[in-house]
Amino acid sequence: MQQKHSQIFTIAQLTKRIKNLLEGEVGVIWVSGEISNFRKAASGHAYFTLKDAESQLDAVMFKGRMSRMKFEPESGMEVLARGAVTVYARRGNYQLVVEELQPKGLGALQLAYEKLKKKLELEGLFEAKHKKKLPLLPRRIGVVTSPTGAAFQDILNVIKRRFANVHILLYPARVQGEGAAVEIAAGVRTLDAWGVDVMIVGRGGGSLEDLWSFNEEDVARAVFAAKTPVISAVGHEIDFALTDFVADMRAPTPSAAAELVVREQQALTDHVLLKRRSLERAMRRIVEQAQNRFDRSQSSYIFLRADELLRQQRQILDECRTRLEESAATMVQMRRQRMEKSQRALTFLSPQLRLQQQVTRLETLSTRLRRSGVVVTERKRNRFSALAGKLNSLSPVLVLARGYALAWKQPEHQLMHDASQLEPGDQISLWLGSGTVQAEVKHIDPTGGITNYDSRKKI
């Protein structure tokens, strides 16, 4: 009976069919979950897992999408992800190709703002010690903003009204949208290199998205690194951009920034006139005081009796000359006496005399040393002779010469002290006063020997 077989798929065909079904039936969707195992490959693509309490889903976000992210995803973050469900054919598992990623709760822009703000604050970019003072009367003012915006017109109107003869250098830059941050940062660096006296960086108000260019890290670091004092004038009074924190001064609006940079000409003129009047009054007081001192000096004793003062000074000079001469003679006499005393002391302490004394002392000590050496040597010689006699009397060689012998057990060459160490038939070697004897033990008598000598004598 012939069997009917259904269509047989290869693995690749089956995977492709499942992929088409998923992409056609599910398509692009939003999912919520927690990021897990987030990693960024060298290629710039990001791979992670989205999970909840019951399931998990592999996800990938390619480099192009990652480069447009306003925040940095990380493991443990709750997010909303939009993307297409598809199958990765090489491994045969399904995954979500993420096109957009947003943090749950706090918006992506706000999250990126807070994260970058904390980073720059920890690096010390907001500290007051870095703030530079604004110049009193700047001659060249640099402005980085849009040339078509209302902010630039407000700055021009304020400066023209307050102080018309000031040069304004505008660096035109987009203040929102793609590439705006790059242009703003370039404008700050360029005007700083040109050497303007002060710089205004800003724009009018707007939403967080509109003002985002002034929250970019490149712009904040360019403002901080500028050697020129920078005023940040971004948005309305309730808006704070990161440039407000790193700049040397913050203005709530571009118009307020212009007022901070340029003082009103009439106010400066009035201030200069006030200072001039104060200076004139001070000079008059100084002249009057000098005139009064001169008038008092004319009627003083030094002008009326100048000859008398000179005569007194001449008399004082004569007295000082006399005292000086007497003091010089006394000093010479004292120095002469000190020199004679030193000569006598030098004669007494003459090196030749001291040398002769030391030679005599050396000869005396040498004689005493020789005498002491003879006495000590003779004493040591006598003691050595006595010790040599004692040593000779205790010599084992002399003991052997008096009839004693040393017995050595062979072949161990072991010195015998007791007969119990030997047995009949053992070979022994006897050392005598002169010569040696090889012998064999025939009989052992434990009752003999030195220890039993007295008892044997009694028997």
Q: Are 216 and 271 in contact (CB under 8 A)?
A: no
pLDDT of residue 231: 92
Tell me which residues of the chain have a pLDDT lower than 50.
1-3, 455-456, 458-459
Query: Does an H or E element contain 273, and which?
Result: helix 265-298
Provide the CA 215 distance to its chain's centre, in angstroms. 31
Is the backbone peptide bond immediately before 229 cis, with ω within 30 degrees of 0? no
Distance, in Å, from the CA atom of 340 to the CA atom of 127, rounded to the nearest integer, reads 78
pTM of the shown model: 0.44
Integer CA distances (angstroms), 325 to 211, 256, 314, 334, in order = 93, 83, 17, 14
Q: Looking up tokens 């830059």, which residue turns up? A: 173
Point out which residues pair with 49 in neighbouring strands.
36, 58
Return the pLDDT at 459: 43
- Please state whether beta strands 167-172 and 140-145 pair in parallel, antiparallel, or not at all (unpaired): parallel
pLDDT of residue 48: 92
Work out the burial of residue 204: count CB atoms within 10 Å of its CB; fewer than 13 is exposed, 13-18 middle, 19 or more buried.
buried
- Residue type at 245 in one-letter notation: F
Tokens of 291: 């005139």
Per-residue pLDDT at 222: 94
**What is the SS3 assignment for 270?**
helix
What stretch of H or E contains 176? none
Contact 92, 11 (CB under 8 A): yes
59 and 77 Cβ atoms separated by less than 8 Å:
no
- Please write the tens of the pLDDT for every residue from 301-341: 666 666 666 777 777 888 888 888 888 888 888 988 888 88
Report pLDDT for 61.
92
pLDDT at 164: 67
Give the CA distances from residue 22 to residues 84, 96, 427, in Å, rounded to whole numbers and listed in that order: 9, 11, 111
Residue-range domains of the chain with CATH:
11-105 (2.40.50.140), 113-263 (3.40.50.261), 400-458 (no CATH)
3-state DSSP assignment of residue 173: coil
Contacts 24+ apart (CB under 8 A), 234-242: 234/201, 234/202, 234/203, 235/202, 235/203, 235/204, 235/205, 235/206, 235/211, 236/204, 236/205, 239/205, 239/206, 239/211, 241/211, 241/214, 241/215, 242/113, 242/116, 242/117, 242/120, 242/214, 242/215, 242/216
Query: What's the pLDDT at 309?
Result: 65
Sheet holding 414-415, edge to edge: 414-415, 406-410, 427-431, 436-440
Residue 101, pLDDT score: 85
Q: Could you give the angle at the alpha carbon of 64 between the alpha carbons of 62 and 67, nearest 5°? A: 105
Residue 270: its pLDDT value, please?
A: 72
Instruction: Please answer whether residues 108 and 70 qualify as being in contact, where contact means their C-beta atoms are separated by less than 8 angstroms.
Output: yes
* Nearest Cα residue to 258 out of 360, 159, 123: 159
CB of 29 within 8 A of CB of 83? yes
Tell me what pLDDT residue 224 has.
94
